[in-house]
């Protein structure tokens, strides 16, 4: 595989039916409804996340391939033996692969994830050890993710949380013994968008009422104060709520500098 830096060149799609994997192996194609295709389109490579129906292979990415061509076709053309039904006219991207390859080391998910599509890059795909390494939505999230990994704080990126009729995508979910953390990396223009602030306040209130604690950090804080402010705030909240579920309290590993600023040791090494 040859690395390239283009955003969106790799798309992680979902396999939730063994018949889809069998079809990939035999006919080398995968379908994506045109109306729900991701924003970054078309992909140059597809990889596949397997859900719980795959037993021992569940919750991991094992298979990938380079895209050969993409056609738009109705469902009845994809499945000519299927009885005519209301979905028969639905349009799909029929993504044809050159070949289907198997990773030597699967990219695992530590939690059973509700995923749809994960746009990524070849560079991230080649280096990924787990699903959270693949996300490519925000440089700010990447910086915070690197800091959390350095502290060995297990988090889930782009966590799909459903509360009643509402569905929220959390930048980072951290599961503690007594409460969960929702960590948001707000862009630099967040405070200037009054309508967004109002919506986020309603969102945060509902999460807080359902055993979530919301932490928000702006771009400047993540870029310039990751070790001195952001990570200490996160570790303090984790320990306040009983430590990481299954792992207990976390250590921030601080050093005291000559200026009296608490800096995380592992980020200085």
Write out pLDDT tens, residues 65-88.
Answer: 999 999 999 999 999 999 999 999
**Distance (Å, rounded) from C-alpha 75 to C-alpha 72?**
10
Query: 11: exposed, middle or buried (C-beta count within 10 Å: 0-12, 13-18, 19+)?
Result: buried
Sites in the chain below the pLDDT cut of 50: 1-5, 7, 254-261, 263-269
| pLDDT above 70: percentage of residues in the chain | 87
Label residue 266 exposed, middle or buried (CB < 10 Å: 0-12, 13-18, 19+): middle
Residues present in the chain in total: 269
| DSSP classification of residue 248 | B
Phi, psi of 195 (to 5 degrees): -65, -35
Residue 44's alpha-carbon distances to 5, 36, 126, 135, in angstroms, are 12, 18, 14, 16
- The predicted model scores a pTM of 0.84
State which fold the 139-268 domain adopts: Trna Endonuclease; Chain: A, domain 1 (3.40.1350)
Residue 116 has a pLDDT of 80
| Annotated domain spans of the chain | 10-126, 139-268
pLDDT at residue 201 in the model: 86
The pLDDT value given to residue 8: 57
Do 10-126 and 139-268 fold alike per CATH? no
- CATH homologous superfamily for the domain 10-126: Hypothetical protein. (2.30.130.30)
Query: Residues 56-73, buried b or exposed e (16+ Cβ, 10 A)?
Result: eeebbbbbbbebeeeeee
């Amino acid at each position: 595989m040859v690395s390239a830096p283009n955003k969106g060149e790799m798309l992680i799609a979902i396999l939730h039916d063994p018949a889809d994997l069998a079809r990939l192996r035999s006919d080398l194609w995968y379908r994506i409804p045109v109306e729900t295709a991701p924003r970054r389109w078309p992909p140059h490579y597809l990889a596949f996340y397997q859900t719980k129906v795959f037993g021992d292979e569940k919750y991991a990415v094992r298979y990938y391939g380079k895209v050969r061509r993409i056609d738009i076709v109705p469902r009845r053309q994809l499945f000519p033996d299927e009885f005519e039904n209301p979905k028969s006219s639905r349009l799909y991207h029929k993504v044809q692969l050159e070949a289907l390859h198997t990773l030597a080391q699967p990219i695992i998910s530590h939690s059973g994830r509700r995923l749809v599509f994960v746009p990524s890059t070849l560079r991230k795909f080649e280096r990924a050890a787990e699903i959270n390494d693949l996300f490519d939505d925000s440089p700010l999230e990447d910086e915070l993710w690197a800091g959390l990994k350095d502290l060995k704080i297990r988090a889930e990126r782009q966590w799909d949380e459903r509360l009643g009729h509402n569905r929220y995508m959390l930048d980072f979910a951290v599961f503690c013994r007594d409460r969960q953390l929702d960590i948001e990396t707000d862009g630099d223009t967040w405070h200037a968008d009054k309508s967004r602030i109002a919506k986020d306040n309603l969102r945060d209130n509902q999460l807080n009422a359902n055993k979530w604690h919301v932490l928000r950090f702006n771009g400047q804080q993540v870029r310039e104060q990751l070790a001195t402010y952001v990570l200490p705030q996160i570790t303090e909240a984790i320990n306040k709520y009983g430590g990481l579920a299954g792992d207990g309290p976390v250590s921030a590993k601080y050093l005291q500098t000559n200026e009296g600023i608490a800096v995380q040791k592992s980020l200085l090494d």
